[in-house]
Amino acid sequence: MESEFQIITTEDGSPSVTWTNADGLSESMHNKKGALSESLFIYHHAISLVTNKGWTPRFLSVGLGLGYNELIICGHCLQHRIPLAEVSIRSFESSAFLRQNFLDWLQGKAPNKSQLDWWKLYYDITESISKHFGTSSTEVKKYLAGLLMLGQWELSKELTPQTVFTETYSAILFDAFSSQVSPALWSEEFLSGFIFDAASPNCVFVTYAAKGTLNRALRQHGFIMEEQQGFGGKRQSTFALRVANSLTAKPL
């Protein structure tokens, strides 16, 4: 599995990976202009909005990848002194290799020879995020490990139409691979059902992409699209906000 991933350094100095499937289709996990810069640019505003508005800090992250968004959430919460007991995250990641690698690192397991480069990658990401938020890499890692230990960070496998949600989320950070690689996740039918099931009445939905199927699904459920520039030369990304007292009816 690990042979499918190649670690790269993006233009802002932060690490990312490229992924290649069995058919030879390859895609970068982040914009090559900067993995950290893109993650902060696209997703941090949504995380800040949740805490600024006093909404319950429940975050849904679609695409753990290298853990950028999860660690940014932790850095933000540390900066704003939000107690562990108040925060919950649910993350999805279809790659068993990425899930297990990240958990092994987070839980302090000693790396085997093939994991050494990945442990350095996770350290570099955590170090750069901690500097951005004025804290330490140790504290950022400890915060996420604490959420895991308390059962307040759930790392799930692949997101599918059969996924069950027992709670809703104030921020949905939709960082899935593109529609070329993961077409099912970008269909209007899937997105509409997913948003109905996962979005709280007060919710912000953000992603690096701008697609008509997503826009229609969001509007169907009462989200207002806000103009959001894309990162690294992309014309647009998606930032949508819903402030409501009740969910709309689920489409038949």
- In the chain, the domains with their CATH numbers are 33-242 (3.40.50.150)
Across residues 131-148, what is the average pLDDT? 98
User: 173-212: per-residue pLDDT in tens?
Assistant: 999 988 878 889 999 999 999 999 999 999 999 999 999 9
Query: What mean pLDDT is reported for the chain?
Result: 92
- What was the pLDDT predicted at 182? 84
Instruction: Name which of 113-117, 183-187, 233-237 the model is least confident about.
Output: 233-237
CA 36 to CA 38: how far, in whole Å? 5
**Closest of 5, 4, 30, 2 to residue 16, by C-alpha:** 30
